[in-house]
């Protein structure tokens, strides 16, 4: 069974945050021995922006949804569908979709899995990539142009805040090579370690089912309508008890209660 993990998911992708911290730590060490070889704060932020684009575009912001939806309109168009009137071969030109029938390997195997011994049908995806990718990148260029056109007024006149930008700005080291305030904050590292350990355990359980299960449920704002708790925006992590029939007697199983933790929202 093949799996893939999306490191670019989220408004501040975990893959980018990891490399930003790694690069910042490496830069601090290298500047102690070779000051001229170290990166400036601006250069670290340029690397961060490049990593951000490389993580998010192939994942959450583009490829994960767009290319899969090319097959979804074929997979879910049939006699039982509400859009059964959509004639795929007539609506789309040749090569715009990896397949026009549910039985085509490029469509079917995405939903049923790759059969043993079969190879990924790259040839069926070649034309859709060549047709759609330039169009999407032109659309990205248009969005960047529009952002550059109106960003000056946002920043200089309306003074809009961009909270997600403040984290990498504060994480990057100071020009003189010292640690920034956020990296010297013990509270930040304690919270960061707690959340990282929680989601690492959730991630590892997908591969090792014997690990304890942790379910992230609603925030305190959704659970409580009054009082101070809604303003804390805490996530509720529920750890169900392990009902091991070989170790827990039957008359004690009903007494097992889940462990409930209130956690701050992830970055």
The pLDDT tens digits along the chain (267 residues) read 455 566 666 667 777 888 888 888 888 888 888 878 888 878 888 888 888 888 777 766 677 778 888 888 888 776 665 555 566 666 777 788 888 888 888 888 888 888 888 888 999 999 999 999 898 889 889 988 988 888 888 777 777 777 777 777 777 766 555 677 777 888 888 988 888 888 788 878 878 888 877 766 555 555 555 556 555 555 555 555 454 444 444 433 333 334 444 444 544
DSSP string, 233-258: --EEEEE-----TTTS-HHHHTT---
Tokens of 72: 């979804």
Phi then psi for residue 217, to 5 deg, are -110, -155
Maximum distance among all Cα pairs of the chain, rounded to whole angstroms: 69
Give CA separation, 139 vs 48, 57, 132, 233, 261, in Å: 22, 12, 11, 35, 43
């Amino acid at each position: 069974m093949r799996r893939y993990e999306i490191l670019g998911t989220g408004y501040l992708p975990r893959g980018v945050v990891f490399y930003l911290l790694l690069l910042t730590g490496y830069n601090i060490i290298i500047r102690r021995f070779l000051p001229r070889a170290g990166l400036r704060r601006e250069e670290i932020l340029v690397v961060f922006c490049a990593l951000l684009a490389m993580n998010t575009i192939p994942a959450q912001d583009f490829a994960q949804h767009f290319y899969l939806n090319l097959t979804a309109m074929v997979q879910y168009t049939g006699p039982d569908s509400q859009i059964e009137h959509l004639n795929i071969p007539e609506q789309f030109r040749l090569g715009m979709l990896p397949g026009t029938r549910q039985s085509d390997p490029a469509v079917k195997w995405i939903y049923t899995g790759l059969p043993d011994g079969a190879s990924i049908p790259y040839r069926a995806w070649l034309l859709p990539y060549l047709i759609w990718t330039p169009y999407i990148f032109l659309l990205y260029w248009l969005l960047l142009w529009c952002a550059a056109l109106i960003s000056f007024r946002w920043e200089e006149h309306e003074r809009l805040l961009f909270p997600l930008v403040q984290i990498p700005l504060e994480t990057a080291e100071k020009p003189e090579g010292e640690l920034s305030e956020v990296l010297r904050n013990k509270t930040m590292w304690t919270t960061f370690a707690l959340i990282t350990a929680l989601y690492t355990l959730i991630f590892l359980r997908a591969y090792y089912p014997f690990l304890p299960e942790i379910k992230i449920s609603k925030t305190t704002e959704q659970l409580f309508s009054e009082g101070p708790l809604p303003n804390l925006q805490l996530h509720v992590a529920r750890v169900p008890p392990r009902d091991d029939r070989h170790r827990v007697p039957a008359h004690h199983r009903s007494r097992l209660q889940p462990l409930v933790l209130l956690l701050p929202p992830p970055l």
